[in-house]
C-alpha cells in the first residue's frame, strides 16, 4: 500500500502518521497564564532533542476541528515556563481525562484529580503523582502553519529535575526502567506500557567499526534461517572471526557427524543452532558454529 500524504484529510493524515510513528512518550505539561490560572495537558508530540543545552520539544497543535490554539501554547506565550511531568501507568486514565477540552480558566489538576506541589525554580506547579518532573524555561516557540493540525512547537530547556527515589536502581545512581512503568501513545486509543515483559537490551555497537553485514560470508548473509537481527549481531565484530580449535560443543559435533552426507541439511541445522545461540547472546559461540559449517 502506498499513501500520498498531502491528499489525505487532516484526521486521516493524523491517524496514519500517529499509527506509524509510535510509540511516542507523553509530555504532561503544567503551565500558567499571566493571571496565574493553571493548565495541565498531555502531548505525545514530544521528545528530547539535545542534552547540551538540554532541550525538549513538544507540540500542542492547532485544533484539527476548529483551528483553535491550545491553552498550553497560549500560556507559555504569557509565562514562558513549563513543568513536564513524566507519565507512568499508574496515571494513565487521569492523564487521558485531563485532555478533555475544558475552558481556559478550568484547572485540570482539579478535574483529573492530581495533587499540586510547588516547583523549585519555575512558577507552574508540579504533579505530585508523577515520579519524574522536569522544570523548564521555554526558550523558543515555532509556528509550523496556520491551518488546523499545524504544530506549534515549544522548545523547553530543562533546568531542574525531580526523581522519586522509589524508581531508582539499587545503588540509587540512575532511574531503573523496571521500576517506573513508562507509558507511550500509539495510534487511536492504543497505548503501550514499558514493563518487565517488553524491556530488552541491545548492546551498543562496538567502539571500533563493526565489519558490517556486507562483509559476512555469502552463505551466512544469504541464509534463509538467520534474520536481519541475527546478521546485525554477527556483523558487530571488529574483524571476521576465525575458527578456534579449542572450541568444543557437543551439539556442533553431533550435527557435523549426523549430516556429513547432506551438506544442505547440515548448513540448515548449523544455522538453526547458531540462531539459538544468538538468541542467548552467545555471539562468539554462534560464530564458531557457523565457521564450522563453512569449513566442512
Ligand atoms: C496521551 C495524549 C496525547 C496527546 N498528544 C497531543 C499532542 O501531541 N498535540 C496536541 O495538540 N494534542 C494532544 N493531545 C490532546 C490534548 O491533550 C488536548 O487537546 C488538550 O485538551 C489540550 O489542552 P489545552 O488546550 O488545555 O492545552 C493528546 C491527548 C492525549 C490523551
pTM assigned to the model: 0.92
Quote the CA–CA distance of 73 and 63 in Å, as a whole number.
12
CB neighbour class for 65 (10 Å; exposed up to 12, middle 13-18, buried from 19): exposed
CATH for the 5-197 domain, from 2.40.50.100, 2.60.40.1930, 2.30.110.10, 3.40.50.720:
2.30.110.10
Ligand 1 interacting residues, C-beta cut-off 6 A: 26, 39, 41-45, 59-61, 70-72, 96, 99, 101, 185
As a whole number, the mean pLDDT across the chain is: 96
Residue 47: beta bridge partners?
57
Low-confidence residues in the chain, pLDDT < 50: none
The predicted structure's pLDDT at residue 294 = 81
Q: What is the pLDDT of residues 92-142, one digit of tens each?
A: 999 999 999 999 989 999 999 999 999 999 999 999 999 999 999 999 999
State the distance from the centre of ligand 1 to the C-alpha of 60, rounded, in angstroms: 6
pLDDT value at residue 264:
94
Radius of gyration of the CA atoms of the chain, in A:
26
Query: Ligand 1 centroid to 259 CA: how many Å?
Result: 61
Alpha-carbon torsion angle 161, 167, 173, 175, nearest 10: -70
Residue 82: beta bridge partners?
136
The length of the chain is: 296
- Going by CA atoms, what residue is nearest to atom 17 of ligand 1? 99
Question: What residues have CB less than 8 Å from 187, skipping those under 6 apart?
Answer: 15, 18, 19, 20, 22
- What pLDDT sits at residue 112? 98
Name the residue at shortest CA distance from atom 28 of ligand 1: 43
Which stretch of DSSP H or E encloses residue 152?
A: strand 152-163
Q: Which of 24, 60, 54, 57 is nearest to 41 (CA)?
A: 60
Q: 280 and 249 in contact (C-beta within 8 Å)? A: no
The per-residue pLDDT for 5 is 96
Q: Say how many Å lie between the CA of residue 256 and the centre of ligand 1.
A: 60
Looking from the CA of residue 42, the nearest atom of ligand 1 is 17
Domain ranges of the chain: 5-197, 213-294
pLDDT of 272 = 98
Instruction: Give the per-residue pLDDT at 35.
Output: 96
pLDDT at 88: 97
Distance of CA 115 to the CA centre of its chain: 27
State the cell numbers at 201: 537490551
Number of the ligand 1 atom closest to the C-alpha atom of 60:
11
Amino acid at each position: 500500500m502506498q499513501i500520498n500524504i498531502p491528499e489525505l484529510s487532516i484526521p486521516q493524515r493524523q491517524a496514519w502518521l500517529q499509527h506509524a510513528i509510535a510509540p511516542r512518550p507523553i509530555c504532561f505539561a503544567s503551565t500558567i497564564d499571566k493571571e496565574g490560572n493553571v493548565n495541565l495537558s498531555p502531548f505525545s508530540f514530544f521528545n528530547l532533542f539535545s542534552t547540551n543545552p538540554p532541550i525538549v520539544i513538544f507540540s500542542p497543535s492547532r485544533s484539527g476541528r476548529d483551528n483553535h490554539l491550545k491553552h498550553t501554547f497560549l500560556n507559555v506565550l504569557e509565562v514562558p515556563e513549563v513543568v513536564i511531568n513524566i507519565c507512568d501507568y499508574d496515571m494513565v486514565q487521569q492523564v487521558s481525562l485531563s485532555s478533555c477540552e475544558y475552558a481556559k480558566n478550568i484547572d485540570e489538576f482539579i478535574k483529573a484529580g492530581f495533587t499540586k506541589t510547588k516547583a523549585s525554580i519555575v512558577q507552574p506547579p508540579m504533579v505530585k503523582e508523577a515520579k519524574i518532573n522536569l522544570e523548564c524555561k521555554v526558550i523558543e516557540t515555532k509556528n509550523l502553519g496556520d491551518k488546523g493540525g499545524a504544530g506549534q512547537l515549544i522548545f523547553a530547556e530543562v533546568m531542574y529535575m525531580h526523581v522519586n527515589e522509589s524508581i531508582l536502581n539499587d545503588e540509587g545512581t540512575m532511574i531503573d526502567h523496571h521500576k517506573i512503568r513508562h507509558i507511550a501513545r500509539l495510534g487511536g486509543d492504543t497505548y503501550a506500557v514499558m514493563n518487565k515483559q517488553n524491556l530488552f537490551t541491545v548492546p551498543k555497537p562496538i567502539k571500533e567499526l563493526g565489519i558490517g553485514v556486507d562483509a559476512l560470508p555469502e552463505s551466512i548473509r544469504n541464509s534463509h534461517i538467520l534474520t536481519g537481527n541475527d546478521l546485525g549481531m554477527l556483523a558487530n565484530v571488529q574483524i571476521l572471526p576465525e575458527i578456534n580449535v579449542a572450541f568444543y560443543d557437543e551439539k556442533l559435533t553431533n550435527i557435523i557427524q549426523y549430516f556429513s552426507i547432506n551438506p544442505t541439511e547440515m548448513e540448515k541445522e548449523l544455522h538453526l543452532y547458531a540462531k539459538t545461540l544468538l538468541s542467548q547472546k552467545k555471539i562468539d559461540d554462534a560464530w564458531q558454529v557457523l565457521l564450522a559449517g563453512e569449513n566442512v
